[in-house]
Amino acid sequence: MIFPLAPYHFFALGALQFSLLLLFIAPWMALIPLALFPVMSFLAALAPGLSYYLPIISRGRKGESGVALTFDDGPDPVVTPLVLELLDRHAAKATFFVTGINAARHPVLIRSILAKGHTIGNHSYHHSPALMLKGKRTIQREVESAQTLLKTFGILPLAFRPPVGVTNAHLWRVLLQAGMFCVNFSCRAGDMGNRRIRTLAARILGKVRPRDIVLLHDVMPPKGDVKHLLSEFEAILTGLAQRGLVVKPLAQLIGKEIMQAASAGEANAAELFYDGLAATYDQEQFCSNVSISRRTELGLFTARIPEIFQGAGRVLEIGAGTGIFTTTIARHCREVEALDISSKMLALLETKCQSEGITNVRPRVGNVETMELEGPYDVVCAFSALEYLTDLPALLVRLAPHVPAGGKIYFITARRSLFRLFTQIGNAMRQGMWLKARSRRQFKAMLLDAGFEPISITPHLLKCVISGGMLLEVVARKRSNP
């Protein structure tokens, strides 16, 4: 469920609570936090790298040593072709955040950008500097209109850069619904859309650092001094090379694809999030604060192998991801059908299978709630994946005809608890989605309604007086007479 939660919401709540507290102390002072909050929010909107309203990517990943070049507001019939020639000479790849209206006017330039191996991001349709002062519908129309236009070139941008880098409280929900994310910048020269191009290179080179996303513009200077503009761009590229700063594709610097083929269809929030995490997913799962949950799952899973998977025929794994559990399952059964919404995750799973000589895993990309199921399955399993589903009871009913009598389902999923609430809030801030946690009673009722007999529904992880655990381990079998 899309549920964008940002620091903005907590500051709003804090301002309200502080105001109510002051109301009992000195009523006139209650207006102070209510007045400071909109001022702070206005200033935060102007900070291109501040994730106040939504997560903003403004720098490369930790460990990266290069920089990325981005060009805004084009394409321009005079400047853009010259920029493309310059980038070719320096063997550099850039990202062009184009406006829909200019892309419609100059379709040949869009094709040329793509043909030369550069990427394209969405910069709204009309590029109104006041866009973020408008309501959600206007912002959505600007984003979607540009997307629709760019689809005609066979691409679907995933990265959005707001005009002037300004954000607001509506933008994240709009981007989540469109399967997009926000990319701003960390190094700019204040060129005001090429109105101030004198010493442009000196200003960029004086502040650029590793991991920077550099903002430039491929539009005509108001005074028409194209020759000087190109000399400044040339000086930037030369200066970066002299400093040992390699110009890298933006996708490589941030670890997220900037666009995809339009034929791939619309991305959704969960797919976008996990595609972006794919390359570092395994490391995050075992070397971060979520590792305690993942290691607990692995321990529970390992103990259940003889009972659930040993000698099984076909196994369906929902949310297989990079194969943390899949390869082990495959060694104990005849075949694993590994489903996941992220093609990038499954590509890594296939690589693991090849390196380990595993040939009985069949990856499938798609949403298990809507795609065609290809049972029968002797076992259906999922590990921290059911939380993302919109209608789990309906899925269990869909699964029932594909599981023969005596077949088993085995899930480890989020349990509703106090500690889980904090992780749900954290996930909503990081991912923009509210992960559903359920109680033992809810799971028992869902299983029975779908024709499954619960064998055990056991809570695990951080069980204490105030919390009954954060994970539920669910084992059930298909009844003969549902």
C-alpha 291/C-alpha 132 separation (Å) is 38
* Strand, helix or coil for residue 378: coil
335 burial type by CB count under 10 A (0-12 exposed, 13-18 middle, 19+ buried)? middle
Q: Residue 448: inside a domain, yes or no?
A: yes
| pLDDT > 90: percent of the chain | 81
Predicted local distance difference test score (pLDDT) of residue 267:
66
| Span 147-193, pLDDT tens digits | 999 999 999 999 999 999 999 999 999 999 998 999 999 999 999 99
200: Cβ–Cβ under 8 A, 6 or more apart, which residues?
A: 189, 191, 229, 232, 236
Last residue of a domain, one of 244, 267, 290: 267
The band of 264, judged by pLDDT with boundaries at 50, 70 and 90, is low
C-alpha 209/C-alpha 245 separation (Å) is 8
Catalytic entry in 106, 118, 127, 217: 217
443/361 same-domain check: yes
Q: The domain spanning residue 348 has which CATH number?
A: 3.40.50.150
Does residue 346 carry a pLDDT above 60? yes
274 near 296, Cβ under 8 Å? no
371/240 same-domain check: no
Q: Among 48-52, 156-160, 274-278, 339-343, which is the least confidently predicted range?
A: 274-278
Last residue of a domain, one of 267, 288, 315: 267
C-alpha 480/C-alpha 457 separation (Å) is 20
Q: Residue 444: inside a domain, yes or no?
A: yes
The band of 481, judged by pLDDT with boundaries at 50, 70 and 90, is low
Q: The domain spanning residue 220 has which CATH number?
A: 3.20.20.370
Q: Residue 1: inside a domain, yes or no?
A: no
The band of 432, judged by pLDDT with boundaries at 50, 70 and 90, is confident
Q: Residue 284: inside a domain, yes or no?
A: yes
Q: Residue 73: inside a domain, yes or no?
A: yes
On the CB side of 25, CA atoms within 13 Å amount to: 10
Q: Residue 272: inside a domain, yes or no?
A: no
Predicted local distance difference test score (pLDDT) of residue 274:
80
184/302 same-domain check: no
| Span 396-422, pLDDT tens digits | 999 999 999 999 999 999 999 888 888
436/313 same-domain check: yes
Predicted local distance difference test score (pLDDT) of residue 465:
75
Last residue of a domain, one of 213, 246, 267: 267
33/176 same-domain check: no
Q: Residue 456: inside a domain, yes or no?
A: yes
On the CB side of 28, CA atoms within 13 Å amount to: 0
| Span 370-381, pLDDT tens digits | 999 998 999 999
Q: Residue 158: inside a domain, yes or no?
A: yes
226/315 same-domain check: no
For residue 80, give the nearest of 61, 60, 102, 62 by alpha carbon: 102
Predicted local distance difference test score (pLDDT) of residue 96:
98
Q: Look at the chain and report how many structural domains it folds into.
A: 3
210/98 same-domain check: yes
257/387 same-domain check: no
383/417 same-domain check: yes
The band of 200, judged by pLDDT with boundaries at 50, 70 and 90, is very high
pTM across the whole model: 0.87
- DSSP, res 215: E
Mean pLDDT of 230-246: 97
| Span 266-308, pLDDT tens digits | 666 677 778 877 878 888 788 877 789 999 999 999 999 999 9
465/366 same-domain check: yes
Is residue 217 among the annotated active site residues?
A: yes
317/251 same-domain check: no
358/221 same-domain check: no
Q: Enumerate the H helices of 61-133 as residue ranges.
A: 79-89, 100-105, 107-115
85 burial type by CB count under 10 A (0-12 exposed, 13-18 middle, 19+ buried)? exposed
- Boundaries of domain holding 30: 7-45
Q: What are phi and psi of 346, to 5 degrees?
A: -70, -30
Catalytic entry in 72, 76, 275, 340: 72
